[in-house]
Structure 1
Amino acid sequence: MTKRQIVLLASRLVQVLPVVVLATVVIFGLLQLVPGDPAAVIAGEYATAERIAEIRHQLGLDQPLWRQYLGWLFAAMHGDLSTSLITGQPVVEEVLRRLPNTLLIVCGALMLSISVGVPLGLTAATHVDSPVDRVVTTIASLGVAVPNFWFGMILVGFFALGLGLFPTTGAASLFQDPRAAVMHAALPSVALAMGGTAEIARQLRSAMIEVLGSQYVRTLHAKGLPQSSILWRHGLKNVSLTLLTVIGLVFNRTLGATVAIEAVFAIPGTGTLVVTSATNKDFPIVQGTVFVLVMIVIGCNLLIDLLCTVLDPRVDK
């Protein structure tokens, strides 16, 4: 890593800090608006007011909100996301146990989106206003419009229940049984990839049409370069920043869409963990899980930003 890249990385990290702080404020603040008292849930239906007050004191819920927030933030920055109010287990352990299941289907969906969306976008860009272009744009429009969870139910009904080719629900550990893990993640990844594929295809088509109509590409044609070389070596390189940015956005959206998909396929991931914990008023689990997911999104955005500056040094100027 060069000195310039190190300086750039340091400056980007400094710029990210206010975003992280703001994200933690939003996470903590929104949970305070959720109705219900966690102490009352823990104490039980017939608990006395004294017992509820005692539990609130033990959990620190009787302290001012700003002190609760600072205490939680300080602990979170040191890797301590508190403990579950229901199970008593560390939140970090709960999240790390489920996070691989979520990341597996998200990464699988992202790879599918790229591997299908890029060829579709290039094909449409090289056949503008042709039947091929209209088919691709129609598919892309459907991919954006159709809900992921509905498409997931169709996949379950046909490929899992009908043909029996894939498991219907659940997940497997990628480290213990890779084949079973991939089989469980296949249908959820396909369901999640539909929207990402459409977005990549649409954005790449628009960017590539502009590049292919430029004077630079016409000069390459005049020099006798084959169409495939112009498209893959020169055209795709010129739209790499746009493509990289879109991929980053697709990853973030896919990560957020896992809640519905995990519910459809009964996957024990972070999405179902947040929903279950919110229902049980287990606020430390909700805070910790959302905090980890937000950090992943911020880290992804930072990585995309740095890659863009590597591909085009003018970006950071």
Structure 2
Amino acid sequence: MSARTLRLIGWRLIQVVPVIVLATFAVFGLLQLVPGDPAAVIAGETATAERIAQIREMLGLDLPLWQQYLHWLGGAVRGDLSTSLITGLPVIDEVLRRLPNTLLIVFLALILAISIAVPLGILAATHVEGKVDRLVTSIASLGVAVPNFWVGMILVGFFALSLGWFPTTGAASLFEDPGAALRHAALPAIALASSGIAEITRQLRSSLIEVLSSQYVRTLHAKGLSQGAILWKHGLKNVSLTLLTVIGLVFNRTLGATVAIEAVFAIPGTGSLVVTSATNKDFPVVQGVVFVLVLIVIFCNLVIDILYSILDPRMNKK
């Protein structure tokens, strides 16, 4: 790894600090706007005002908001994401227990999206205005328009309930039973991949058409290079940065879209954990999940920046 790449990594790590702080602060502030009192939820409907006040004091909810936030942020820096207001268990344990289920369907969806979208984008770009191009463009437009959760419900109804090929709900551990884990994750991953396939296909098609119609490519044609050689050696190389950018964006969107998909398939992942915790006013769990997901997104962006410097040597000269 070059010194330039190491400097890039160091600079990006410095830049992510304010991003993490702003993201956690925004989530903390928005959670305060949610109606209801966590202490009242814990105490129960028949609790007295004195009991609720006692619970608020015990949990530190009577402190000013800025003190609550700084106390939580200080713990997060040390790896302590506080404890659940409902269960009393460490938040980090609950997040790490559910995170593999979420990451499995996200990465499967990303692999599916790339594997399907790249060939479709190439087909469309090399058959501009033809039947293949119109078909691919129509499929991509449909993928953008149709919500992931609707695709998920259709998949459940047909492949799980009617045909019985896949489980309808739940998840399995990839480390304990890989086969069962993949069967449980298949339909959610396909549902998540639908919008990613559409987005990557559209962007790759547009970028590749622009490259293949450039003066540079016409010169290569004049020199006698075949269409296949131009496409694979020059066309895809020139759109690699654009493709990498789109893949990074699709990953981030897919990670966010798991909330709806996990609800459809009843998957015990971080998305369903956020929904349940927000409903129960369990704010430390919500903040912990968001904090971990923000770190994952930042790590993804860092990997993309490193790949930029590898794919485009000109960045190392800046």
> What residue in structure 2 maps to residue 128 of structure 1?
128
> What residue in structure 1 maps to residue 303 of structure 2?
303
Structure 1 stretch displaced more, 261-270 or 42-51: 42-51
1:3 CA drift (Å): 1.4
1:113 CA drift (Å): 0.5
Correspondence list, 1:1-317, <5 A: 1-315=1-315, 317=318
Q: What secondary structure sits across from 1:165 in the alignment?
A: coil
Matched residues, number: 317
Structure 1 stretch displaced more, 221-230 or 111-120: 221-230
Q: Retained in 1: the 8 A contact 2:153–2:264?
A: yes
User: Any idea what the Cα deviations from partners look like across 1:98-154, whole Å, max 9, x if unmatched?
Assistant: 100000000000001000011111111011111111111000000000011111111
Q: What secondary structure sits across from 1:171 in the alignment?
A: coil
Q: Retained in 2: the 8 A contact 1:27–1:291?
A: no
- What is the aligned-residue RMSD (CA, Å)? 1.1
Counterparts of 1:233 and 1:115, CA distance in 2: 19
1:299 CA drift (Å): 1.6
Q: Retained in 1: the 8 A contact 2:20–2:291?
A: no
1:229 CA drift (Å): 2.2
| Structure-1-length-normalised TM-score | 0.97
User: Any idea what the Cα deviations from partners look like across 1:233-280, whole Å, max 9, x if unmatched?
Assistant: 211110000000000000000011111111111111111101011111
Counterparts of 2:5 and 2:275, CA distance in 1: 40
1:313 CA drift (Å): 3.6
User: Any idea what the Cα deviations from partners look like across 1:185-213, whole Å, max 9, x if unmatched?
Assistant: 00110011000000000000010011101
Q: What secondary structure sits across from 2:20 in the alignment?
A: helix
Counterparts of 2:227 and 2:314, CA distance in 1: 28
User: Any idea what the Cα deviations from partners look like across 1:207-228, whole Å, max 9, x if unmatched?
Assistant: 0011101122222223333322
1:315 CA drift (Å): 4.2
Q: What secondary structure sits across from 2:85 in the alignment?
A: coil
| Residue type at the aligned position of 1:78 | R
Counterparts of 1:302 and 1:71, CA distance in 2: 28
Counterparts of 1:300 and 1:4, CA distance in 2: 19
Q: Retained in 1: the 8 A contact 2:24–2:290?
A: no
1:77 CA drift (Å): 1.1
Q: How high is the sequence identity, in percent, across the aligned residues?
A: 77
